[in-house]
Amino acid sequence: MGLWLRKMEQKYGKYAISNITLYLIICYIIGYVIQWTVPDMLQYLTLDGYAVCHGQIWRLVSWILIPPEGFSVFTVIMLFFYYSIGMSLERAWGTFTYCFYLFLGMILTILGAFLLFGIVALNFNGADLKAMMEICAMNISTYYICMSMFLAYAMTFPEAQVLLMFIIPVKVKWLGVAYAAILGVDVFQSVIMMIRLGIGSGSLWFYYLANVISIVFSVLNFVIFFIGTRKNFRTPKQIRRQREYKRKMVPVAQISKHKCAICGRTQDEYPELEFRFCSKCDGNYEYCNDHLYSHQHITRS
């Protein structure tokens, strides 16, 4: 995948969206404004497979506006944090690769939404199907895509430190493990609830199914990306170490084994010549066969 991605960048790199994290944050802000002013409008923006199949194709894009959670002071901190790690990833990976990672997560989320629609459609129809999809679609947002962004950051900058609760310094790799554990527990709890409720037993069962699909498909881009590029993936620390090594490695000029003390010709330049040391000269003086017998002997006097 690494080679394929480089070829794609050479061909389509000019279309990459610089500062895409900022645009994603702006989408969140717009979503919160809609939530405060006209909250009923959000139901027309969700990624509802049923509605898309009935002509509301704008939902394939508008679902990005769905805010990940209720607004609070921690939401502001979260948005600044995601902006920071997003810009760091873009600088480390390059704009094209970073955009590819985010769009892959969005495309997989859309596929997951239509998978959910297919499963729900097998159990409901008509007005019941429409109502059920409206409920399930509210579970789909870019929240888990942002979490996959942090997992990517933890893989790229494992030794970086952040202040947990603005006090405790913690390495990002351990926060990445904690994030992965939270996602795993969330999926596990949803599956347990689905088992307890029984397969296809009511709207609550499909709500938990929507949660599982949303998490799995949103984070699947992380799995695909790092498995596909693991041979070519290097952390910034590894890249710096390699650059320093190359900079310190001074190329050693190749020294010819034989060189004539008179004309300066060498064995590398004239491989057909023969070179000999003169036993009558004081010191290690070597001559080609043209000057071996005609040179003036060097003596210490």
Most confident of 98-112, 186-200, 204-218, 221-235: 98-112
The predicted structure's pLDDT at residue 261: 83
Q: Are 153 and 172 in contact (CB under 8 A)?
A: yes
Q: For the segment 217-269, what is each residue's pLDDT rounded down to a tens digit?
A: 888 888 888 876 655 555 555 555 555 655 655 554 455 578 888 788 888 77
Mean pLDDT of 159-166: 76
Q: Is the pLDDT of residue 60 over 90?
A: yes
pLDDT score for 146 = 85
Residues 31/66, Cβ–Cβ less than 8 Å = yes
pTM of the full structure = 0.71
Give the whole-angstrom CA distance, residue 271 versus residue 134: 84
Alpha carbons 2 and 7: distance in angstroms, whole number: 9
What value does the mean pLDDT of the chain take? Answer: 82
CB of 285 within 8 A of CB of 263?
A: no
pLDDT at 231: 52
For residue 120, is pLDDT > 90? no
At 172, the pLDDT band (50, 70, 90 cuts) reads confident
Question: Does residue 138 register a pLDDT over 90?
Answer: no
